[in-house]
Structure 1
C-alpha cells in the first residue's frame, strides 16, 4: 500500500516520488508522480505535483540524489496535479531553470476556464447540469497552486532539436549535455512532453500512459497511440530499460514495460472496435442516422467495464469525456451546439456543381 510522498529508489541518482489518486467524494486531489534525478551536478525535477506534503517529499528526494550545484525543473504538461509546486525552482538556493510547454501556459494561468470548457463538452452525456460549478469544485481541490516562478520559461523559447535515440527520431530539447531529453508527444493534452534520462535509461511517460483513450478536450488520440508505440520500440531497442509515468504507482522494467505498453495499445483498439459496434447498434452508421450521446456514453461505460479498462482516476465523469472523444475518433460530429445534441457521421459525397455566373451561358 503506497502513500502520498513515498519514495521509490530507481538507482542512487534517481528516485520516483509517488503521488495519489483522485477522490472527488472525499475532497482529495490527485497528485502526479514526480521523477527526481541527478545528471552530473544538476538536480532534475520532472513535475512537482501539488500539496505541501508532496513538496516536502520532493525536497527529501532531492537530498537523497545529491550533491548538486544547479537545478532544472521540467513540467511535462499544465494540468493542476503536475504543477502546484513549480515555484520550488526559485527556493533551492542554486542557479535554476524551469521550463513549461507553451501550448499549456493559458490553462496554467486560468485552470478554471480550461476545466469549464472540458466539462461543458460532456454536460449532456454525463448529466452534468452545472459544468462551471463542477469545474470550480475540482480546481479548488488543488492547493496551494504555484505553477510559475521567477525562472519559468517555455521550452519553445529554445531552438527545437532533432533527437535521435537508437532507431527513433523525435523533436524536442536536450539538457545537461544530452543526459536529459525532453520529447514532444502532445497526446494527453496540447503541450504534453515525455522525458528520457539517458544514463539510467528511464523513460517517463507522465500522463501519456494514463489509459487507452484520452479524456481531455485537447487530447489527440493518434498522437497518444503513436507515443505508446514509440516507447515500446525504445525498450525493444535497449535504449530504455525503466518505465515510469504520472499515475501508476510502480516502476516497470524491460519486458514488463513492453507488455504494459502493448496492453494499452491493445485496449485502444478494443475500445475503438467496441465504439463502432455501439454506433452500429444505435443505427448511426448511415447518412442521416443519429447516435444519442447520452445513450452512447452509458453503453461505452459498460464496454469499458467489460473490457477491464481502468486508467488513471477512473470515474463516471472522465469516462464520459473519453466517450465524447471516442465519438470524434470514429468520425461523428454533434449536429448542433445543444447540450445533448445527437451525433452523426458526415458521409463522403461529391460536391454539388457550382451554378454558372450570370451571363456566362
Structure 2
C-alpha cells in the first residue's frame, strides 16, 4: 500500500512520486503521480501535483537523483491535480524551463469556469442543481494552486518535430539532447501530452490511461484508445520498458504493462457494446436513467478508472452517449437524448391549386359590381 509522497525507484536516477485519490466526502483533493528523472546534468520533473506535502516529496526526490545543474519541468495537461506546484521550477536554484500545453491555458487560468462547464453538461445525468457552485467548491480543495512561474512557456512556441520511436511515428518536442520526448496525445483533454524518458525506457501516460471512457468535456475517445494501442506496441517492441501514469500508483513493466493496456481497450469495447444495449434502437434516452444503468454496467464489467465518484461516472456516461451517436434534443439539463435523423423530414405537401372558375367569380364580384 502506497501513500501520498512515497517514492518508487525505477532506477538510480528515475523515481515515481506517488499521489493520492480524490475523496470529496472528506474534502481531500486528488494528487497526480509525478516523475523525477536526471538526464545528464538536467533535473526533469514531469507534473508537480498539488499540496505542500507533495511539493516536499518532489524536493526529496530531486535530492535523490543529484547531481544536476539545470532543471526542466514538464506539464502533461492543465488539470488541477497536475499543476499546483508548477512554480517549483523557479525555486530550485538553477537555470530552469517550464513548459505547458497551449490548449490548456484557459483552464489553468480559470479552473472554476472549466469545471463549471464540465458539470453543466451533466447536470441532468448527475441530478446536479448548482454546477457553478459545485465547481467552485471542488476547485477550492486544490491549494496552494500555482500553475505558472517566471519561466513558463508553451510547447507550441517550439517548432513541432517528427519523433521516431522504433516503429512509432509521433509529433511533439524533444529536450535534453533527445533524452526526453514529449509526444502529443490530446485524448484525456485538449492539450494532453505523454512523456517518454529514453534512457530508462519509461513511458508516462499521465491521464490517458485513466479508464476505458474519458469523462472530460474536451476528451477524445479515439485518441485515448490510439494512445493505449501505441503504448502497447512500444512495449512489445522493447522501445519502452516501464509504464507509468497519473493515478494508479504503480510502475508496470513489460508483459504486465501490455496486459494492463489490453485490458483497458477490452473494457472500452465491452462498455460500448453494453451501452448500445441500454440505448436501444430509435428511442429517446433520459440522461439520469441512462447514467444509473451505465453505473451498474460498469460495476458488472468490473470497469475501474481514476477517482471513481458519481460526478465522473455521469461525465463518462454522457460521453458514451455521444460516442454512440446520440445528441441532446434541447439545451435543458434533463433533455432526452436521441439519434439525429439520417435525412431531413419530408417537406409539407403544397396546398391544392385553386379552382379557376371560383377565382373568376370572386374577381367579377369584387371588381365589376355597381350595386
TM-score of Structure 1 vs Structure 2, range by shorter chain: over 0.9
SS at match of 1:214: coil
1:55-70 to 2 correspondences below 5 Å? 55-70=55-70
- From 287, 292, 296, give the equivalent of 1:302: 296
Q: What's the TM-score, normalizing by structure 1? A: 0.95
Q: Which runs of 5+ in 1 are unaligned?
A: 354-361
Deviations 1:313-343 (A, max 9, x none): 0011100000000000000000000111001
Q: In 1, Cα distance between the equivalents of 2:333 and 2:101?
A: 32
> Aligned residue for 1:240?
240
Q: How many residues align?
A: 347
* Counterpart-to-counterpart distance in 2, 1:144 and 1:216: 23
Correspondences of 1:325-340 after superposition (within 5 Å): 325-340=319-334
Aligned residue for 1:27? 27
2-side partners of 1:69 and 1:330: how far apart?
Answer: 51
Match of 2:149 in 1: 149
Name the CA distance, whole Å, in 1 between partners of 2:334 and 2:298.
21
**Corresponding residue number in structure 2 for 1:42:** 42
Do structure 1's residue 178 and structure 2's residue 181 form an aligned pair? Answer: no
Deviation of 1:352 after TM superposition, in Å, equals 6.9
Give the aligned CA root-mean-square deviation in angstroms. 1.0
Confirm or deny that 1:137 pairs with 2:137: yes
Tell me the residue number matched to 1:319: 313
Aligned to 1:359: none
| 1:85-234 pair list within 5 angstroms | 85-234=85-234
Q: Deviations over 1:59-118 (max 9, x none)?
A: 000010110000000000000000000000001111100000000000000000000000
Structure 1 partner of 2:350? none
Question: What is the deviation of 1:349?
Answer: 2.7
Q: Cα offset for 1:350? A: 6.9
Structure 1 residues 235-260: Cα deviation after superposition (integer angstroms, max 9, x where no partner) = 01110010000001110000000000
Shift of 1:12: 0.4
CA distance in 1, matches of 2:245, 2:50: 16
State how far apart, in whole Å, the 2-side matches of 1:351 and 1:295 are.
Answer: 29
Divergent runs of 4+, >6 A: 350-353
Structure 2 segments unaligned to the other structure (5+ residues): 348-371
Measure the CA separation in 1 of the matches of 2:274 and 2:181. 37
